[in-house]
Structure 1
Amino acid sequence: MFKPSLLIASAAAACALATGAHAEPLSREFTYTGFYHVEGGQYLPNATLYGYFDSDDRNGDGRIELSEVTSFILNSQQYVGWCGPEVFMCGLFDFSYAPGSALNFHTAWSTDPWGEGVAGGSVISGVEAKEHSYWPGGSASYTLRWTEDTMLSMSPVPEPASYGMLALGLGVLALSARRRSRS
């Protein structure tokens, strides 16, 4: 018969093997808040850019570079892999991040340039986020610039295996409590 401490140690070892025992989460969510709106000529404290990225620190240096990003989504637009049915071109052209330092990236997207009109945009973190549209007879643009008041918040996104470990841990605790109540 297993003792609860042996059962807990066995479960922890199995979970570490199953998850690959990464020191840092592979997914992060981020939000930038507070931008200067160029066309409106005013600071917008509640203006936000949000997103998340998945990465794999293949070289183990603790810094994520462009080649290690497996998914990058900014304001609901995917920039790595397939762009989606409405977007002609998109890409993540520069990226770097190390825990405790700035998040640096450059993205761009565009609709079909041979259509009736064209829309597109780009974001260079720390500089500006710009979207523009051109159509027969008109155009529009929307530009947000970073200021010293622009704030970045970043948080890890738990991996699906983390939820499995949590469920397993809660199950082990429930089993231990049940065995103790029988005694």
Structure 2
Amino acid sequence: MLKMSMMAVIIAAAASAHAEEKTFDIVYQGLYSVDDHVFQPDKTLKVTLTVDDLDGNGDYSENEVKALKASHIDYKGSCTVEHCLEYFNWVRGSLPDYSAAYHSFDGFYNELTIVNPGVEYREFVQSNFGFRYDLTWHWTADTQTTITQISAVPEPSSYAMLGAGLASLALVARRRRKHNDM
């Protein structure tokens, strides 16, 4: 009876398991300033990205992005009036390909941030009072990209699988001890 119960627990834990959410810090360093017409080796853009490989294929698509934060952009799984992920694709062995935007207008200020890695990073602000700035940077062959995975917190299904595995080991050890005592 114990053996059947253990098998049921193992099967249930395996069935409920899927890849856990992963968070990455992506740092782009060295961008070309379109406004100043010069490559700025110290110009950096930090992006924090959280993904969940729902289909288990090791690649990430737009529906698997849970959050993306860069400059004013604070995307949280679905587009809002202000924060949107326009497209996203990250295939194993390559860099993430995406475009994300922030747009806000409060009646006085119009703000826009666009991040499109490999192409451009843009910060734009314009007021009804004549104030305006528009800064644009482009990626070049000298732009360095560093991707670091931040430790993920295991999901409950991971703990269930660990518990089932430990229980199985305890059962095997108990059976061996019982068999050796005879």
Q: TM-score normalised to the size of structure 2?
A: 0.68
| Structure 2 residue 57 is matched with structure 1 residue 61 | yes
Q: Which residue of 1 aligns with 2:173?
A: none
Structure 2 unmatched ranges of 5 or more = 1-9, 160-182
The alpha-carbon deviation at position 144 of structure 1 amounts to 0.7
Separation in structure 1 between the aligned mates of residue 23 and residue 72 of structure 2, nearest angstrom: 16
- Number of residue equivalences: 145
* Map of 2:166 onto structure 1: none
The equivalences for 1:84-103 within 5 A come to 89-103=82-96
Task: Could you tell me which runs of 5 or more consecutive residues in structure 1 were left unpaired when the two chains were aligned.
Answer: 1-12, 166-183
Structure possessing the higher radius of gyration over alpha carbons: 2
Aligned to 2:174: none
Q: Identity percentage over the alignment?
A: 24
Say yes or no: does 1:80 pair with 2:76: yes
1:133: which partner in 2? Answer: 125
Summarize the alignment of residues 6-155 of structure 1 with structure 2, pairs less than 5 Å apart.
Answer: 20=17, 22=19, 26-75=22-71, 77-81=73-77, 89-112=82-105, 115-135=107-127, 136-155=129-148
- Judged with a 3 Å threshold, the aligned counterparts in structure 2 of structure 1 residues 101 and 81 are, in CA distance, closer, same or farther, namely closer
Is the Cα–Cα contact under 8 Å of residues 25 and 157 in structure 1 kept in the other structure?
no
Distance 1:116 1:21 in 2: 47
Q: 2:6 matched to which residue of 1?
A: none
Higher mean C-alpha deviation, range 59-68 or range 94-103: 94-103
Contact residue 34 and residue 48 of structure 1 kept, 8 A: yes
Considering only aligned residues, what root-mean-square deviation do their CA atoms show, in Å? Answer: 2.9
Distance in 1, matches of 2:71 and 2:102, equals 12
Conserved 8 A contact 1:133-1:140: yes
1:157 aligns with 2:164: no
Distance 2:58 2:28 in 1: 23
Shift of 1:90: 1.4
Secondary structure of residue in 1 paired with 2:154: helix
Point out 4+ residue stretches in structure 1 off by more than 4 angstroms: none
**What amino acid is the match of 1:107?**
A
